[in-house]
Structure 1
Amino acid sequence: MGNQTAFLTFSGIISPSARQLAEQLCRQQATPKKGEQVRLNTLAVSFVNSYLQYMSVETDLEASDCWNPVQQLFMDVADLSIKNIGSLECRPVLEGEEFVYVPPEAQSNRIGYVAVQISKSYREAKLLGFIKEVSTDILAISQLSSLEKLLEYLTQLNTAKLTVQSQISNSLIQITQWFDNIIDNSWQEIEALLSTQAIYADSSLRNTKHAFISRGKLIELRQQKTEQTVVLVVTLTPENESEMDVIVEIHPTKGEIYLPQNLQLKILDLEGACVMEAQTRSTNKNIQLQFSGEIGEHFSVKLVLGDSSTIESFAI
């Protein structure tokens, strides 16, 4: 079904179910041109999905943007979600063509690009090669790397992801233990870290109907020859037996009025994806994000200032 040469490619039959789905989605589009685009994108993604599953790479087809009817309508995307890694763009190419078209909306938030040659009958496909990044709409097929590089690359990304997750798990802060007074010494009462005015403003954010606990930590962000220190404050308020409200705040240290400009506060999920973020301007005295989470849920707080960043990881 495949061929192994110095430059690895892969040829095969497109499954009847994939062809049927592509035809169905094609007919739902407003114009024949858009319909053909969706058909080819669907065939390309389906074929790459089958190949990667055959090579024991876990995919999540339904999580891909190209499977979203709204995304199909307004965008030209052919992404395949690779579990725990990211989105791989699967760009269709017709027989005889020497270039791959990569639309602007597909030139970011991708872990790589695969060119998929689709036969005129829509029954066969061939994976022509792979490239990690693109910076132009038109990519020559001759620029692609062997398909073997794709498998090596996905293995590297998965290994790196597992390593990061392991490091996060090993350094998790069990913040619900704060209610039992099990608190690491680096997390102090906020009165020791913030000015009186900041504490007053800080307390107004809390839900006083329920018990809550707040702790703060000094965070150092080093930039070349300078060093900025801010205060990270985390507040936990029980919502019910299985859910907690969490407030994450950043304040300047005592003696400082404003936070550094362009300081980014991000909340990351277990996979390391950013789910919420805030950024300071020139005169921010604090920034904060608030969310709810279930007992046992993991999240991380990431602070970014220029080329300096730090992460604190928590379990609710």
Structure 2
Amino acid sequence: MNSTHTPLLTVPLSRDAHAWARKFAAEQINPHHGKRVYLNTLAVYAVHTYLRWIRIATDLSQGDSWQLHLQAVLDVADLVIPNVGKLECRPILPETSVCHLPPETLDQRIGYVGVQFQTQLDAVQLLGFVPAIAPSPSPLTQLSLTDFQPLATLSAHLHQLRSAQAIATPETRITVPSAPVNLGQWFQNQFEVGWQTWEDLFSDDLRPAFNFRGDRSAPAIIASEASLEPPTGIRRGKLIELGGQPTAHVAALVVEVTPLPETSEMKHEVLLQVHPTREQRFLPANLQLIVLDATNQPILDASGTPLAVRSHQTDNFIQLLLRGKTGEQFHVRLVLGDVSVTEQFVI
């Protein structure tokens, strides 16, 4: 993919993150404790958000950082990874060169993630990962920012811990991987089951009007006017069910793949759109469209922000654009609340 990967990953801080932080901070009598709890909560929620992107389950409610009776007495920002252990998500203030480790964070941790705050609390940067620190007669009190390993080592470390646990407690499980959708074959009129024409997905009276009311400032989002042009490539769509009754939402994932000029390093342009279908006029609020690479890591744009977009209350479509070479694989994930659906593609 042609997205520029930078050393740090930026994670936006959602309204939910700030709502939890305000709730917990308001319970603190001491203003200093309130500020500390606020930042700890945001740090934990940011790492929780990142792990959800790469499909690693977490349990916010089980951490000490989420317990009201412990927040005032413990300076912790722990996030529970079910059946693995506790990950400490340490907040690091702007222009700070070290990550402080309170004594209560040195016990029963599988590792540490550095969460760098900016002046504005609208996003954080994940600095990387440090595995658990071995006990010592002289306990470590801080980490240098250079101690943090690339963030990719976190998912590898969690995989190793899970594998070791699986060996200790074997479980019979059969996984049948689904074959990725081959976009290159679409040009030979070969389409996978479930991928319909635009006309079959949307009858004339239900066809979307393309009133995009979302955030136009995000660099990965294409202006809505582009969608009004006739398609120059091959376009197909698939119905995606997001959740069961009684809160079911059905959305249409539309993919248009267009060949680029032979002089271009990237061979194809892929436009991804999500539309409401049938009875639903608008998309549900906070529906996320996320693009991941073949290893389930978020693809970043030139600013280091994940290639992702979230629907607003009156959006009737959202979209992202990416380019890639023949044979490259990527994943498209739709997330609504606790429901996540992933489609795999190869160009």
Normalization by structure 2: what TM-score? Answer: 0.46
Normalization by structure 1: what TM-score? Answer: 0.50
Structure of larger gyration radius:
1
Give 1 or 2: higher strand fraction: 1
